[in-house]
Amino acid sequence: MNTAIINTDRQLPVMEHFYTIQGEGFHQGRAAYFIRLGGCDVGCVWCDVKDSWDASIHPLFEIDELVSNVQQTATKLVVITGGEPLMHNLDALTHALQQAGFETNIETSGAHPLSGSWNWICLSPKKFKAPLPEILPAANELKVVIFNKSDFLWAEQYAALVSPGCKLYLQPEWDKAATVTPLIIEYIKQYPKWELSLQVHKYINVP
Ligand code: SF4
């Protein structure tokens, strides 16, 4: 696993980039351009993008090139994901995207310092490497992946730390969905501050 923090502003390692719909959370269903950056040191055992972990195997892209790719689509929304995108300084990328008129959303575990200018921060904390305290009040959305029963209590610990307006989502881990989705449904019925997030893109087989 590559744990190096890459601080280059104008170039970033990109595992993949594609135009699709956002399948998860608050913006689910919206057309969005995804930029999946390489590099992650969080080490989730159930990670479905382990190829992203080693940043060094992914090609470096110029920020101007990334913005130009997005401009070739009709979207207004760009989602920066990973890997753990905050292993990189994202100030230059997000400023360039916003100057070009795009909304910038991030999906992060919060395990590295917050950089970038964001219209929406989706914090998805992981047990394997805790988020830094600084990101909790900045999160617009808390999305907790439920892998087993003990994760509900863990989710509540973070729900108590985010801002009052933060949206709260519980999302079944994909391989455990058959087992944990019924538990999540019952939990949300009991504690309706939470909402269900499904990985809709996987059900409809789009990236
Ligand atoms: S934080 Fe995301 S990319 Fe990193 S190991 Fe966990 S699920 Fe995979």
| Dist. CA 125–CA 107, nearest whole Å | 10
Predicted pLDDT at 3: 44
Nearest CA to ligand 1 atom 6: 44
Cα three-residue angle 3-113-158, rounded to 5 degrees: 105
pLDDT of residue 206: 85
Residue 191 is predicted with a pLDDT of 98
Average pLDDT value over all residues in the chain: 94
Task: Pick from 52, 132, 176 the residue to mutate for probing ligand 1's pocket: most ligand atoms within 8 Å of its CB.
Answer: 52
Answer whether 42 contacts ligand 1 (Cβ < 6 A): yes
Please give the pLDDT value at position 203.
85
The vertex-202 CA angle with 60 and 31, nearest 5°, equals 65
Give the ligand 1 atom nearest the CA of 41: 4
Please tell me the distance between residue 47's alpha carbon and the centre of ligand 1 in angstroms: 5
Supply the pTM of this predicted model: 0.94
Residue 37 CA to residue 44 CA, distance in Å, equals 17
Q: What is the CA radius of gyration of the chain?
A: 16
How high is the pLDDT of residue 1? 42
DSSP lists the bridge partners of residue 20 as: 32
Q: Tell me: the pLDDT tens digits for 137-153?
A: 999 999 999 999 999 99
In this prediction, residue 205 has a pLDDT band, given cuts at 50, 70 and 90, of: confident
